[in-house]
Structure 1
Amino acid sequence: MSISLRFIVAGLILFLVSRYATCQAMMRIPLKTKTLWNKDDVSLTNDNDNTYFGQIMVGTPGQPFNVLFDTGSFDLWVPSSIWPKQGSRRYRSSASKTFKRDGTKKEIRYGSGSLKGFMSNDAVEIGGLRIKQQAFIEATEAPGRRIYERPWDGIFGLSGLSKSTITGARPIWRTMMDEGVVTKKVFSIWLRRYSDSGENGGEIVFGGIDQEHFTMQSSCGLGEYIHSWSTADCSNYDKLSEVISFTIAAKTFTLTPRDYIERKNGKCKSVFADATTDLWQLGTPFIRAFHTVWDYQTPGIVKVGFAKSK
């Protein structure tokens, strides 16, 4: 899984559903530790524009884990006490006063590999937001080993569905909404480039949006993930001027070469790749360019809004 935060856009059926207004009473998860007004923050780190991850606490007392925040999946998982990767943090249920046993075996398949483990329940804290009981997977192994190569410990699925189609558990964002942990059923993502800010990766706001991070009201549509593989010489990178525009419900969203070409170690890499389905996929490069909002306030309807990041 080379992209951390992702959202699938169904190309031909994507449509504009509303203009996005300012939300108040928000809870925010910054993508690097800092204090913002009177809100609770948690660090989220930029791994050289590859993935964005931050720290959560599981159990009582809390056990820290760096997790990848992923809008394209349902479930939360962290390494169990028998996780084989050397140097990894491991969840120890025996050390938590709020642990509740389940034990049901589960397997998740990602684009970058699969994961096996078993279900458990415990308290989860994200910054100052505390969920008293959340179902999650204690991971025991990752066949194929690609997940072992990642700089984070686990994955925090951000799906807002009522239950995971894989484990049957209620996703953690749905738990936050159902139990009133957030006032507004909205979360927003603002990402920063590594070249601009290093590991200071940006911000996730649970419960609203931050007007400091965009330059206009968001246009909303339906909403996941883009891989980038091919590379080329970078000698003319600074001379590139072509822009690429996406028109969504009569609204134009434009990417510059800085948005759609990644330059690393003297090589340039396009963020575009062939698709195997008829879905258009807009991933992390698009979210870096456009502040993105997920709105669950209308029952049965999910709105996704975009506004130019700043």
Structure 2
Amino acid sequence: YPYLGTLFLAVYHHKYYSSKSSTYKPINTPFSIQYGTGSLTGFLSSDVVNVAGLPIKDQGFAEAVEQPGDTFVYSEFDGILGMGYPEISEDGVTPVFVNMVNQHLVEQPIFSFYLSRDSSAEKSELILGGSDPNHYEGNFTYVPVTQKGYWQFTMDSVSISGYQITENTQAIADTGTSLLVGPDNHIALMNELIEADENGFVNCDSVDEMPAISFVLSGVPHYLFPHDYILRDVEYDQQICYSGFQSSGSDSSESSEASGPAWILGDVFLRPFYSEYDMGNNRVGFAHSK
């Protein structure tokens, strides 16, 4: 590994070599995509892609050639696997899960996520073809997909300490987003009500006294409690606590059908709630994680 000062070591990444594959098929279409924390350019190829023992034939994917910045250097993943609808697929490439369904590799057109609350506990889990009752309790609350692309749906309301932050707004569930993201003015109010400072930090001693936050989906309140939405870390041997809410960079008045959903329910929401993505019925389900 290259040595970079005293703090960081570059992560070893597995690489794909088409010359070593007998099932590789060239496409050669140039590929470019911009992410929230990075970008990449390369070209498209096709091969048998194996995910969890499922061989997906003729799966298109991008071979990354250039990745500016440090995001992918220090990240412990080797690539990004999109689980959205074909409508937002780059260059018309059929998503992996759609091919799994079309090639009858899964029992149902459903996948689901369990995100572990504690990194030292049982690891997170992606189930392909159904859900794992060992990781959730009670019944699912389902919300219909309002626009195919991301897993987008209508959120009835968000309330905290007697204040209704918003109502009848669009949201998406996204495991690729670490925090819970919303319009600037709404996130600012939420952070104010939990007494976070301008940088999002809060007093660790006051976490237990913070309010629950209600996210109503299909008429059912889903509560986030302080230990769900306050994140903890250690810096210079001191524990620090900070808000799990992040501004989207736009005001609620700027959110529209064209600009995309107003809210992103990322990992802060998806740890306490097991999520199921039903492509057959175009709906998203949430149940309490165990």
- Report the TM-score, using the length of structure 1 for normalisation: 0.66
- Amino acid paired to 1:204: L
CA distance in 2, matches of 1:240, 1:141: 47
Instruction: Say if 1:226 and 1:273, in contact at 8 Å, map to a contact too.
Output: no
Unpaired runs of at least 5, structure 2: 1-9, 146-151, 153-171, 181-197, 256-261
Matches within 5 A, 1:246-285: 246-265=215-234, 266-275=239-248, 276=250, 278=255, 279-285=262-268
Return the offset for 1:234.
4.3
Letter in 2 for 1:258: H
- After superposition, where does 1:27-66 map in structure 2 within 5 Å? none
Q: CA deviation at 1:240?
A: 3.2
Structure 1, 87-96 or 144-153: larger mean CA deviation: 144-153
Superposition map of 1:80-95 within 5 A: 87-95=12-20
Aligned to 2:100: 176
Partner deviation per Cα, 1:160-179 (whole Å, 9 max, x = no partner): 32x65422111111111111
**Aligned equivalent of 1:137, options 29, 50, 62:** 62
| Aligned twin of 1:232 | 201
Shift of 1:297: 1.4
Match of 2:187 in 1: none
Question: Per the alignment, in what secondary structure is the counterpart of residue 215 of structure 1?
Answer: strand
Give the secondary-structure state (helix, strand or coil) at the position aligned to 1:285.
helix
Residue in structure 2 matched with residue 291 of structure 1 by the alignment: 274
Shift of 1:274: 2.0
Aligned to 1:186, which of 98, 106, 110?
110
Q: Select which of 83, 86, 97 maps to 1:158.
A: 83
**Cα distance in 1, alignment partners of residues 11 and 270 from structure 2:** 33
Q: Which has the higher contact order (CA 8 A, sep 6+)?
A: 1
Q: Matched residues in 2 for 1:196 and 1:253: separation?
A: 26
Larger radius of gyration: 2
Contact 2:273–2:289 (CA under 8 A) maintained in structure 1: yes
Tell me the matched-pair count: 220
Higher-helix-fraction structure: 2
TM-score, normalised via structure 2 length: 0.70
For 1:306 and 1:203, the matched residues in 2 are separated by: 15
Distance 1:195 1:284 in 2: 13
**SS class of match (1:157):** coil
Q: Which amino acid aligns with 1:236?
A: D
Q: Quote the Cα distance in structure 2 between the aligned partners of 1:202 and 1:87.
A: 22
* Deviations, residues 159-215 of structure 1 (Å, cap 9, x unaligned): 132x65422111111111111111210111111023551xx4221111111112111
Secondary structure of the residue that 1:268 maps to in structure 2?
strand
Question: What is the CA-CA distance between 1:134 and the residue it aligns to?
Answer: 0.5
User: What is the letter of the counterpart of residue 308 of structure 1?
Assistant: H
CA separation of 1:271 and 1:235: change in aligned 2, threshold 3 A? closer
Instruction: Kindly provide the amino acid, as one letter, of the partner of residue 241 in structure 2.
Output: C
Instruction: Give SS of 2:99's match.
Output: helix
Query: Identity rate of aligned residues, in percent?
Result: 33
**Unaligned runs of at least 5 residues, structure 1:** 1-84
Contact map agreement 1:189 1:204 (CA 8 A) in 2: yes
Instruction: Give the counterpart letter for 1:184 in structure 2.
Output: Q
Residue-by-residue CA offset, 1:114-142 (whole Å, 9 max, x unaligned): 11010011111112211122000000011
Equivalent position SS for 1:176: helix
Tell me how far 1:238 sits from its aligned partner. Answer: 5.4
AA aligned to 2:275 is: T
Name the counterpart of 1:123. Answer: 48
Q: Which whole-Å CA distance do the structure 2 matches of 1:269 and 1:134 have between them?
A: 41
